[in-house]
Amino acid sequence: MPSDAGILIVDDHRDTRYALESALAPLGHRLCCVAGGDEALKEVLRGRVGLVLLDVCMPDVSGLDVVRYLRRLEQTQHIPVVLLTGFGLDPALTSAAFELGVADLLPKPVDPGSLRTKVRYLYDAHQRRLALEREVRGLRALVEAGAAPGPRPDDPRTAAAALPRPDDPRTPVQAVPRPDARVPTQRDAARRDAERRDTVRRDPVRRDPGAHPAAPAAAPDGT
């Protein structure tokens, strides 16, 4: 899908504007054509311009002056600009153009296929840059807002938070196990031991339940 940002064509000759518009139409981007530097600046400041195709020599404001103004504003200083000249690639012009940070300087007439390839590359690179800047701004806003990262699995506080809290109404109440009546408790065992000792004191014969009673002594012989 083509981006919403358009391509601005700036040239004071109607035939040149028409030829450039016809060459770039297959790219599928929105095209806007103006005849002078003042109109170009107004159009760029309205926003939604992804690339500027700009003639160097115009009657009101030169192409170099337009570039100087664009580079002074933060919102427009990174928009790619391709300069077009019909007077050949003069060394002084070439030096001044690239010192201002133009993307390219092309002589007229321009080959339509080469122009489309160059414009497509510059336009897409600028859109990727804008997307990256938006992502960085979003991450910076999260950091400034104090968004804390998620809990780490190896953090002891994470494991403690996962344990059920007794005062939490959502924690299920577990039934307390009742003692089995068939299993003697410690109190019952102590009571039986006391009863056994009391019985032994009252009946010494039962101290050793396995012992047999002693036989009576024999009577003395009277004869």
CA–CA dist 54, 47 (Å, integer): 17
What pLDDT shows up at residue 4? 77
pLDDT of residue 196: 76
Q: What is the pLDDT of residue 173?
A: 60
pLDDT (0 to 100) of residue 195: 77
What CA–CA distance (Å, rounded) separates 161 from 164? Answer: 8
Q: Are 62 and 56 in contact (CB under 8 A)?
A: yes
Running along the chain, 223 residues long, what does each successive block of 10 average in pLDDT? 78 94 94 94 91 93 94 92 89 93 93 94 91 86 73 61 64 59 63 74 56 52 48
Its sign, for the CA torsion 87, 93, 95, 101, is: negative
pLDDT at residue number 131: 87
How high is the pLDDT of residue 2?
A: 45
Number of Cβ atoms within 10 Å of the Cβ of 40: 27
Tell me if 57 sits within 8 A of 34, measured CB to CB. no
pLDDT score at 218 = 53
What b/e sequence results for 6-29 when a residue is b if at least 16 CB atoms lie within 10 Å of its CB, and e otherwise?
bbbbbbeeeebbebbbebbeeeeb
